[in-house]
Amino acid sequence: MFKRLTIRKNAYYDSVALMSLAQEVQKLPGITDALVGMATDLNKDSARAMGFGGPELEEAGPGDLIFALLGDDAKSLDEAEKMVTARLERKASAGKQDTRGDVTYSSLAEVPIEEGGIAAISVPGPYAAREAKAALRRGLHVFLFSDNVSLEDELAVKEMGRREGLLVMGPDCGTAVIGGLGLGFANKVRPGRIGIVAASGTGLQQVLAVIDRLGEGITHAIGTGGRDLRREIGGITTLMGLDILERDESTTVKMVISKPPHDDVRRRVIAALEEGRKPAVVCFMGEEGGSSGVGAGKVRFAGSLEEAAVMACSLAGEGGSREIYPQEQIEAMARQLAAGLAGRADGAGSRYLRGLYGGGTLCEETMTVLARAGIDVYSNVAWRPELFLEDPETSQAHTCIDMGDDYFTRGRPHPMLEPGLRVPRYLREARDPDVSILLFDVVLGYGCHPDPAGVMAEAVREAAEIARRERRTLVQIAVLVGTSGDPQGLARQEKVLRDAGATVLSSNQAAAKLVALLLKSECKQ
Amino acid sequence: MTISQRFAPPRLGITETKKPEVSRSMTGALGWGQAGGARRHLGAVQAGRRFCGLLSGSRRYRVHSVFARALNLWDGREFLTLLPVSRGCGETCATLALAPEESFLDFGLVPGLEVEARDGTRVRLGPEVVVDFGSALTWESRLSTMAPGQLSDANLLVLRRTLLDASTASPLRGAVDGSNPGLAALLDALRVSVLAADGTRLGAALASLVGFGPGLTPSGDDVVVGMSLARAVFRRAGGRPDAGGLWEAGVRGALARTHALGAFFVEEALAGRSHEFVEDALGCLLAGRPQETGLAARRLIGVGATSGFDIGVGLYLAAEWERRYAWCSSG
């Protein structure tokens, strides 16, 4: 057996292209196995499994290309290497048009740009800053979907953007809607009067869904990435975004959605809002609502995403605020579901919630609502150390899991792309005899799975069957986040979930309140 | 130039949200890069123990056959089947979380594609599809720990009634309601030859049955699956060897008359293993309540075009003959 390991430093190629190249190499005569890929941990493991090792492999990083070959003789390895080199060089050449008319370019430098616009960038984290800077140099705003970008790189790119007067939305920016153009996981929303700056993808989607349900619309929804309001970044994109919304004639109400910012950054953001001419709604997740109590009092604080959307719609329109789920309605739902739980064959006792979220912000909002109700919830994203799950794979007592967290998405797609990856865990929770409530989110929009409710409905049916066999009662609650124009069909998705036996709510806050009431009623029994 | 001047929404216009410029192609940032750029990354929910060989890479499989809601892999000896969650699992099956309208036919999979295992948890079925077994639960057979007691007349009646009520267009319908004398005689030959230890007559009857009839797995194979599984469970409970009976030898001798997939399912049944719905139906028949038996039987009948029904006929006949003549324990 002959073997050869080649490592090319700082040579990034698209993984799809490399995978297909590896498959071609494996078919060459005299080649028994081949690996062509970036030196990720996974690919390095694969190379080790092929019998390769040594310092060169160990030192290789995700920015380096690995080319590992096993063959019958040296000539076969030479031929294979020649073929790979030729193919990689061809890939690096200028773009060509495919059958649909889409043109692929090997770098931003080749793209003919006649006027300003937005570059949407999604490459592995280590390469993202380089591409973002290239876009800024071309005069493009940046939508940076990539995660795993260092804080230093984020700051450098955003400072460069600020100098050039260009927005950098991200990194790890999941959703934006700019002048009607959806970027990332975007919902279809009407044009309207509300302008949003958001540091949370699913948080923004929940707000868009409520705004749509209340009949309002938006001007822009500018994503910032989750770290923009940290002290190190200083809210660069948030402040630039608010400036844009202030100057935009169509925007009459501004909104900011984020985790609680650093105190210094908070002061700057609130000051910017107070200095503006337009009323504003702020939702710093986990904080209580109220008014800012400073300046002209233009800023109102919301205690939840739903409340923020309702407030903004109220400010944009003429009517008063309209809750989607009035408290009485939630209480009535709770009474109905609690009656089913009370009547179960296995008797009453301590029973637990298990929440499996694809949207991290929604997960955190649920924990906030339950904490306000005095219910402790364990989580892989808990902010109280004593409630932090050491093993995200194992739930305990009441647990809510953010399955979009890095732990679950390393080497796997996000559950918004593949909701089915949550199903094994969902059914494992359903099998736990101490569990009586399962809670999950279904997020719609462009870029998301084409039928997420269909996938989860199968799981709901299966969980109900498990409970039936064990003569238990299981309440299954779905939070459906989407707008009436989303490509999956909001009404159809809701029906699919209801037909499977889930209780469906379109507000995460309302779902969390419902869970709190159910858990409280369980305690009383 | 101010930020607002450089910010160019007027060029885009204020309209309803358009389809995003980047969507599922933005997978690199979400870790798809490590999965080799697959378009779909499906979650396995449950898997039988026989998937270990595939996941460890110790056995090399290829795509054997692709259907809308089932995918068979083959290593030249053994089949593994991938099914949606709602279709049940088994020792040689894995269930995947798919939406009701999703089809394996849409994933660019064709027979002959080599299946590639990586890191013990993920399997690439083709250029576009990866199945992630990282969180899959191990499927446990209900029958493996079951000791059949006294066969209940009520359960047998429920199974018979459910078969008679089914609208399945199987040639084996006549075996249940007695409307096909030729078929009844053939099946009776199976019963009598085992009880009389007449291997020649048994071989002739099986030769007429194995490979006979419609369906992906022929109806004749399916009824033999049902009978063989019931025998294996009763014989295991009675301490009789699984493989050494007259029936078992006769069936193995007839397997050359059918195709590889049909033969594999029969071999599995002889070893006391089958698909979850088949095992559940037999388990309920042996130890369940009539209501459960009816539910399990209806679920079994829903498998395939005729397969579930035909296997149900095999289970029913073997159980009925066991009750009357101790047929499973004979031969």
Minimal-distance CA residue of chain B relative to A164: B3
pLDDT, residue B249, reads 94
Whether residues A410 and B31 touch (CB distance < 8 A) is answered with yes
Residue A91 pLDDT class (50, 70, 90 cuts): low
Closest chain A C-alpha to B210 CA, distance in angstroms: 35
**pLDDT at residue B227 in the model:** 97
**Whose CA is closest to A450, among B37, B36, B106, B124?**
B106
Q: In this structure, which amino acid lies at residue B158?
A: V
Say if B170 falls within a structural domain: yes
Which of A270, A276, A272 lies closest to A290, judged by CA? A270
First-to-last alpha carbon distance for chain B, in angstroms, is: 94
Read off the pLDDT of residues B299-316 as tens digits, 9 standing for 90 and up: 999 998 899 999 999 999
Same domain as B219, residue B125:
no
Q: How far apart are CA A317 and CA B73, in angstroms?
A: 59
Which of A50, A19, A301, A426 has the alpha carbon at shortest distance from B46?
A426
Least confident of A12-26, A53-67, B308-322: A12-26
> Are A436 and A460 spatial neighbours (Cβ–Cβ below 8 Å)?
no
Q: Give CA–CA dist B255/B285, Å, rounded.
A: 27
Please count the residue pairs, one from chain A and one from chain B, whose beta carbons lie less than 8 angstroms apart: 239
CATH 3.40.50.261-classified regions of chain A: 173-316, 327-524
Among candidates A209, A265, A259, which has minimal Cα distance to A507?
Answer: A209
Contact A209, A506 (CB under 8 A): yes
- pLDDT(A251) > 90: yes
Query: For residue B119, what pLDDT band results from cuts at 50, 70 and 90?
Result: confident
CA distance linking residue B294 with residue B157, whole number of Å: 10
Same domain, B172 and B214: yes
Q: Indicate the pLDDT class of residue A161, thresholds 50, 70 and 90.
A: very high
Does residue B297 belong to any structural domain of this protein? yes
User: Which domain-ending residue is among B78, B113, B138?
Assistant: B138
**B36 in contact with A at a CB cutoff of 8 Å?**
yes
Question: If pLDDT is split at 50, 70 and 90, which confidence band does A95 have?
Answer: low
Kindly tell me if the per-residue pLDDT of B82 is higher than 90: yes
Choice between B128 and B43, residue whose per-residue pLDDT is larger: B43
Whether residue B147 is contained in a domain is answered as yes
The residues facing A401 across adjacent strands are A356
Average pLDDT estimate for B153-170: 93
Q: Residues B251, B130: one domain?
A: no
Q: What is the mean pLDDT of residues A458-482?
A: 94
| B310 in the same domain as B217 | yes
Q: Confidence class of residue A399 from pLDDT cuts 50, 70 and 90?
A: very high
* B233 pLDDT higher than 60: yes
Average of per-residue pLDDT values in chain A: 88
Claim to verify: residue B117 and residue B183 sit in the same structural domain: no
**Range from A280-289, A458-467, B55-64, B194-203 carrying the lowest mean pLDDT:** A280-289
List of residues 6+ apart from A498 with CB closer than 8 A: A504
Q: Are residues B126 and B158 in the same domain?
A: no
> Among A333-342, B9-18, B247-256, which is the least confidently predicted range?
B9-18
Q: Is residue B188 part of a domain?
A: yes
Residues 6+ apart with CB under 8 A from A522: A338, A341, A348, A350, A351, A436
Predicted pLDDT of residue B273: 94
Number of domains in chain B: 2
Three-class secondary structure of residue A377 per DSSP: coil
* Distance to chain A for B99, nearest Cα, Å: 4
A337 CB-contact burial (10 Å; exposed 0-12 / middle 13-18 / buried 19+): buried
Decide if A117 touches B, using CB distance below 8 A.
yes
Host domain of residue B50? 37-138
Q: Are residues B184 and B94 in the same domain?
A: no
Angle between helices B181-195 and B199-209 (to 10 degrees): 150
Give whole-number Cα distances, A199 to A207, A332, B226, in Å.
12, 34, 59
Domain with CATH 3.30.70.60 in chain A: 2-91
Nearest to B33 among A124, A164, A422 (CB): A124
Higher pLDDT, B107 or B23: B107
Q: Which amino acid is at A278?
A: K
Q: Report residue A376 as tokens.
A: 């402790």
Q: Please answer whether residues B86 and B277 qualify as being in contact, where contact means their C-beta atoms are separated by less than 8 angstroms.
A: no
Question: CB A380: neighbour CB atoms within 10 A?
Answer: 22
Please tell me the distance from the alpha carbon of residue B151 to that of residue A508, in angstroms, as a whole number.
51
Q: Which of B138, B159, B191 is the last residue of a domain?
A: B138
Read off the tokens for A224: 């910032």
Q: What is the dihedral of CA B211, B215, B216, B217, to 10 degrees?
A: -40
Summarize pLDDT for A413-444 with one digit per residue, the tens. Answer: 888 889 999 999 999 999 999 999 999 999 99
The domain boundary, picked from B87, B120, B138, lies at B138
Distance from CA of B48 to the nearest CA of A (A): 14
Q: How far apart are CA A315 and CA A43, in angstroms?
A: 53
What is the reported pLDDT for A414? 85
CATH homologous superfamily for A327-524? Answer: Succinyl-CoA synthetase domains (3.40.50.261)
Q: Which CATH fold topology does A173-316 show?
A: Rossmann fold (3.40.50)
Q: Indicate whether A98 pLDDT > 90.
A: no
Is residue B184 domain-shared with residue B51, that is, in the same domain? no
DSSP state of B269: H
Residue B222 and residue B298 in one domain: yes
Question: B44 and B108 share a domain?
Answer: yes
Surface of A (126-185) touching B: CB under 8 A: 128, 139, 141, 143, 145-148, 164-167, 172, 177-185
Q: Which residue of B has its CA nearest to A184?
A: B23
The strand ranges marked E within A259-310 are 280-284, 290-291, 299-301
% chain B with pLDDT above 90: 60
Reported confidence tier of residue B138, pLDDT bands at 50, 70, 90: very high
**Residue range A236-244: mean pLDDT, rounded:** 97
Same domain, B208 and B224: yes
How close, in Å, is residue A80 to chain B by CA atoms?
A: 20
Are A448 and A416 contacting, i.e. CB atoms less than 8 angstroms apart?
Answer: yes
In a domain, B273, yes or no: yes
Q: What is the CATH number of domain A2-91?
A: 3.30.70.60
Alpha helices (H) along B7-102: 9-12, 52-56
Of B24, B33, B41, the CB nearest to A15: B33
Report if residue B73 sits inside a domain.
yes
pLDDT band at A320 (very low <50, low <70, confident <90, very high): low
**What tokens appear for B312 in the block?**
């149900």
pLDDT at residue A105, as a whole number: 73
pLDDT of residue B23: 33
- Could you tell me the end-to-end alpha-carbon distance of chain A, in angstroms, rounded to an integer? 70
Element spanning B253, H or E: helix B246-254
Helix, strand or coil, per DSSP, at residue A280: strand
| Co-location of B156 and B281 in the same domain | yes
- Per-residue pLDDT tens digits for A257-300: 998 899 999 999 999 999 999 999 999 988 876 655 554 578 99
In a domain, B214, yes or no: yes
- For chain B, positions 92-131, list CB contacts with chain A under 8 A: 96-102, 118-119, 122, 127
A3-18: burial string, b at 16+ Cβ within 10 Å, e else: ebbebbeeebbbbbeb
Interval B185-197: pLDDT, tens: 999 999 999 999 9
